[in-house]
């Protein structure tokens, strides 16, 4: 139990949204400062709250926090990735405004509006902290909350000239588009990547929760970074339920699941690429960690709350009741609206780990039980979706799109056409471009578009819907993705986009958790969809402790925090908000079956 131990000058923290990267980074920075080391703390997390943690306003310029550490040099900065992306886009588009036709300018702007641009622009900003000798000499430790992805690092390491590659038309609507304006800084980026891959200088720490989805993401990240010669130095498993808080059936289930997952990290069978990393378990706190005192005590066991000092044997039923409302019953108002009138296209939208698959499955099952013909389709691996439901429930068809297969087919298609006349460097650039998140979304969307057409005569429920950026990119003038669709005789994006923009047909459901970061990420997804002319029908706040009956005073405090977040969301969002109580996912899946 404890925070990572490191002798490296640079420490990078990476992981899914909401796992606690910021808190862990702040706590470790505090430890170093308390030991008399000069510290610089940098955040590129769009949901950064290091200012809130330290109780001071922190923005895009260095803020002196040394008064909190008895005069020890401690500076912090919050780099706003969206603002950096906006400035970066304007640096490219500004010189050509008024020179290019409006439709060409709009298409170019859209290619610079995706997640890759945000990543590249953020990396462009913080490379100075890795390569500026004056900054290096001023600090003993430089800590980054949110590390660059493996995809970004590979892009920066590619040979050749990105600008000429795009000018040749090989990557005109690609994720290499954001790289085209960075050629002048190429040597700086190479130096930054070298620093990142030097284990004597840099430690990269993965952060996850005691949940399979976040550990799966950590495993994927470890594989991706290891291929670049960057081996994660440690894994923080954050937010584990303290053993002393186990007092009833609910807490027993949570604690038991987390302990089983921890065991898989040590035996190497489920997560082989994490087996060599040092594991640092951290317990969940009853209240959000705020202030210096909270940070200093993060790796110390929290004192039991009130009477929760005795631990019954795991498996003993202490009589706790879950909320009276079942998982399916909570969705009934939404199902009634969806079932009314003509067939609908239901899109379940949300970040990973919020329960999209379970929500999509529940909606599909309840619509089928209401007598509607329903097709449920997902890109989630079949392990999380009961593919046998179609045989159990009349009127329900279930399909699973294999994202690995459709992406490989799409990559092969592009390489055979666009890549046929490229030199070795150009081909390598195109290959890397086709590993990007945008490429994966486009490829999966091609498979989804065929399912979308069925919404004329049946209800379609899609788990994991395309982002607004993907939809606009597919519809952009000059997009080679669109050209390939025409060449292959498949449905063009324009017709599909019109159907998705029809509010009478398409019903996006935003799925999130009652926690700060997932809600902020969900709001970002809403803005992304609305840019494409797609407006959400409703929100589902999944896994809420608010309203769950438990004898655990620890969980009661967590429930109070959930309540506050949900109430804030209700004041900010003008769409219906469905609140679903916390249940173990295994129980929810069993209920739906």
Query: pLDDT by residue (tens digit) across 362-418?
Result: 999 999 999 999 999 887 654 456 667 777 889 999 888 888 888 888 889 888 888
Diameter over CA atoms, the chain: 74
pLDDT of residue 489: 45
Secondary structure class of 398 (helix, strand, coil): strand
Task: Copy the structure tokens of residue 592.
Answer: 């739906």
Mean pLDDT of the region 170-179: 59
Res. 445: pLDDT tops 80: no
Split at pLDDT 50, 70, 90, the class of 429 is: confident
Between 505 and 437, the more confident residue is 505
If 0-12 CB within 10 Å is exposed, 13-18 middle and 19+ buried, where does residue 294 land?
A: middle
pLDDT at 97 over 90: no
Band (pLDDT 50/70/90 cuts) for residue 208 is very high
Is the model's pLDDT at 5 over the cut of 80?
yes
Q: Is the pLDDT of residue 41 over 90?
A: yes
Average pLDDT over residues 295-314: 58
- Closest to 380 measured CA to CA, from 407, 399, 408, 396: 399
φ/ψ (deg, to 5) at 323: -55, 145
Q: Mean per-residue pLDDT for 460-488?
A: 60
HSE of 505, CA atoms in CB hemisphere, 13 A: 15
Q: What angle do CA 86, 87, 91 make, to 5 degrees?
A: 120
Higher pLDDT, 126 or 339: 339
At residue 346, the pLDDT reads 94
More confident residue, 378 or 48: 378
pLDDT given at position 483: 44
Band of pLDDT at residue 512, cut at 50, 70 and 90: very high
234 forms bridges with which residues in the sheet?
205, 278
Assess contact for 475 and 494: CB atoms under 8 A. Answer: yes
CA distance 443 to 513: 28
The yes-or-no verdict on residue 120 having pLDDT over 90 is no
CA distances from 266 to 5, 69, 213, 271 (A): 19, 37, 17, 9
Q: Residue 487 has what pLDDT? A: 41
**Which of the given ranges, 102-106, 229-233, 304-308, has the highest pLDDT on average?**
229-233
Question: Hey, which of 137-146, 244-253, 515-524 has the most confident mean pLDDT?
Answer: 137-146
- 132/299: higher pLDDT: 132
Helix boundaries (H) for 370-492:
389-392, 403-417, 424-433, 437-452, 468-475, 480-488
**CATH class of the domain defined by 327-592:** alpha beta
Q: What is each CA distance from 112 to 91, 95, 232, 446, in whole angstroms?
A: 11, 15, 30, 21
Sign of the alpha-carbon dihedral angle for 260, 262, 265, 268? negative
* Paired residues of 538 in beta bridges: 509
Predicted pLDDT at 494: 52
Residue entry with tokens 């498993």: 237
C-alpha atoms less than 13 angstroms from C-alpha of 312 in its C-beta half-sphere: 15
Q: Please, which pLDDT band fits residue 517 given cuts at 50, 70 and 90?
A: confident
Give the count of beta carbons closer than 10 Å to the beta carbon of residue 457.
9
Contacts of 287 (CB under 8 A, 6+ apart): 557, 561
pLDDT bucket at 485, cuts 50 / 70 / 90: very low
Q: Would you place residue 47 in the very low, low, confident or very high pLDDT band (cuts 50, 70, 90)?
A: low
Return the higher-pLDDT residue of 52 and 343.
Answer: 343
C-alpha to C-alpha distance for 521 and 529, rounded to whole angstroms: 13
- pLDDT tens digits, 62-89: 999 999 998 899 999 988 877 888 887 8
Q: Are the C-beta atoms of residues 500 and 506 closer than 8 Å to each other?
A: yes
Average confidence score pLDDT of the chain: 79
Structure tokens at 233: 């130095």
More confident of the two residues 307 and 371:
371
Q: What is the arithmetic mean of pLDDT over 290-309?
A: 70
Q: Determine contact, residues 225/148, Cβ cutoff 8 Å.
A: no
Q: pTM value?
A: 0.78
Token reading at 237: 């498993």
Six-digit token string for 241: 């339920």
pLDDT in tens, 521-570: 889 889 888 888 889 999 999 989 887 888 888 888 888 889 999 999 99
| Percentage, residues of the chain above pLDDT 70 | 80
Give the whole-angstrom CA distance, residue 43 versus residue 60.
10
Residue 510: strand pairing partners: 349, 539
Q: Of the given ranges (94-108, 199-213, 534-548), which has the lowest mean pLDDT?
A: 94-108
pLDDT value of residue 449: 78
- pLDDT higher for 236 or 101? 236
Which residue, 474, 506, 466, 467, is CA-closest to 492? 474
Helix, strand, coil share of the chain (percent; to 5): 50, 15, 35
CATH code of domain 10-296: 3.40.50.300
pLDDT for 158 equals: 65
Q: Tell me if 49 sits within 8 A of 263, measured CB to CB.
A: no
pLDDT band at 338 (very low <50, low <70, confident <90, very high): very high
- The two counts, helices (H) then strands (E), for the chain are 25, 15
> What stretch(es) of the chain map to CATH 3.40.50.300?
10-296, 327-592
Highest mean pLDDT among 29-43, 124-138, 514-528: 29-43
Whole-angstrom distance between the N-terminal and C-terminal Cα of the chain? 39
Q: With 90 as the cut, is the pLDDT of residue 186 above it?
A: no
Q: What is the pLDDT of residue 100?
A: 74
Report for 212-226, 296-310, 374-388: range of highest mean pLDDT: 212-226
pLDDT score of 176 more than 70: no
Quote the percentage of the chain above a pLDDT of 90.
24
| Phi and psi, residue 374, nearest 5° | -130, 140
What's the pLDDT at 226? 84
> 543 vs 591, which has greater pLDDT?
543
> Alpha-carbon distance 505 to 492, whole Å?
18
pLDDT recorded at residue 317:
32
């Amino acid at each position: 139990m404890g925070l990572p131990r490191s002798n490296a000058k640079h420490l990078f923290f990476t992981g899914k949204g909401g796992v606690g990267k910021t808190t862990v980074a702040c706590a470790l920075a505090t430890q170093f400062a308390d030991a008399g080391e000069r510290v610089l703390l940098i955040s590129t997390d769009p949901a950064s709250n290091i200012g809130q943690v330290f109780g001071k306003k922190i923005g895009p310029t260095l803020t002196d926090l040394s008064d909190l550490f008895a005069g020890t040099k401690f500076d912090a900065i919050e780099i706003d990735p969206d603002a950096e992306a906006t400035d970066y886009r304007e640096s490219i588009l500004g010189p050509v405004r008024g020179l290019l036709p409006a439709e060409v300018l709009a298409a170019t702007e859209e290619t610079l509006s995706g997640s890759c641009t945000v990543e590249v622009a953020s990396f462009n900003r913080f490379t100075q902290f890795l390569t500026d000798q004056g900054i290096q000499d001023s600090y003993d430790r430089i800590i980054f909350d949110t590390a660059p992805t493996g995809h970004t690092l590979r892009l920066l390491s590619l040979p050749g000239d990105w600008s000429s590659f795009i000018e040749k038309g090989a990557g005109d609507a690609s994720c290499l588009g954001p790289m085209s304006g960075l050629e002048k800084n190429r040597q700086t980026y190479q130096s930054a990547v070298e620093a990142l891959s030097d284990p004597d200088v840099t430690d990269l720490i993965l952060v996850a929760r005691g949940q399979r989805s976040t550990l799966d993401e950590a495993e994927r990240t470890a594989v991706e970074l290891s291929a670049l010669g960057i081996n994660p130095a440690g894994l923080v498993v954050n937010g584990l339920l303290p053993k002393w808080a186990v007092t009833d059936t609910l807490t027993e289930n949570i604690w038991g699941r987390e302990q089983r997952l921890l065991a898989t990290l040590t035996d190497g069978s489920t997560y082989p690429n994490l087996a060599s990393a040092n594991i640092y378990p951290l317990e969940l706190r009853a209240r959000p960690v705020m202030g210096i005192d909270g940070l200093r005590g993060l790796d110390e066991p929290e004192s039991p709350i009130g009477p929760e000092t005795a631990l019954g044997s795991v498996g003993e039923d202490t009589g706790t009741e879950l909320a009276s409302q079942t998982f399916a019953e909570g969705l009934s108002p939404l199902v009634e609206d969806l079932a009314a009138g003509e067939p609908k296209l239901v899109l379940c939208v949300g970040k990973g780990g919020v329960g999209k698959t379970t929500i999509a499955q529940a909606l599909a099952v309840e619509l089928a039980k209401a007598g509607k013909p329903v097709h449920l389709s997902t890109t989630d691996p079949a392990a999380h979706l009961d593919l046998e439901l179609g045989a159990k429930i009349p009127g329900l068809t279930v399909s699973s799109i294999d994202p690995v297969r459709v992406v490989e087919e799409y990559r092969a298609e592009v390489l055979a056409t666009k890549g046929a006349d490229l030199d070795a460097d150009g081909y390598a650039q195109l290959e890397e471009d086709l590993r990007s998140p945008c490429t994966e979304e486009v490829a999966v969307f091609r498979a989804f578009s065929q399912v979308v057409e069925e919404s004329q005569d049946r209800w379609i429920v899609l788990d994991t819907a395309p982002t607004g950026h993907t939809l606009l990119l597919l519809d952009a003038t000059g997009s080679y993705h669109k050209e390939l669709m025409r060449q292959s005789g498949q449905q063009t994006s324009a017709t599909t986009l019109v159907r998705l923009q029809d509010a009478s047909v398409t019903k996006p459901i935003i799925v999130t958790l009652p926690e700060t970061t997932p809600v902020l990420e969900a709001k970002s997804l809403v803005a992304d969809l609305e840019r494409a002319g797609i407006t959400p029908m409703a929100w589902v706040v999944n896994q809420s402790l608010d309203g769950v009956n438990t004898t655990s005073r620890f969980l009661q405090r967590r429930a109070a925090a959930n309540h506050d977040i949900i109430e804030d969301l209700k004041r900010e969002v003008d769409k219906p908000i469905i609140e679903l109580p916390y249940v173990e996912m295994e129980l929810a899946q069993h209920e739906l079956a």
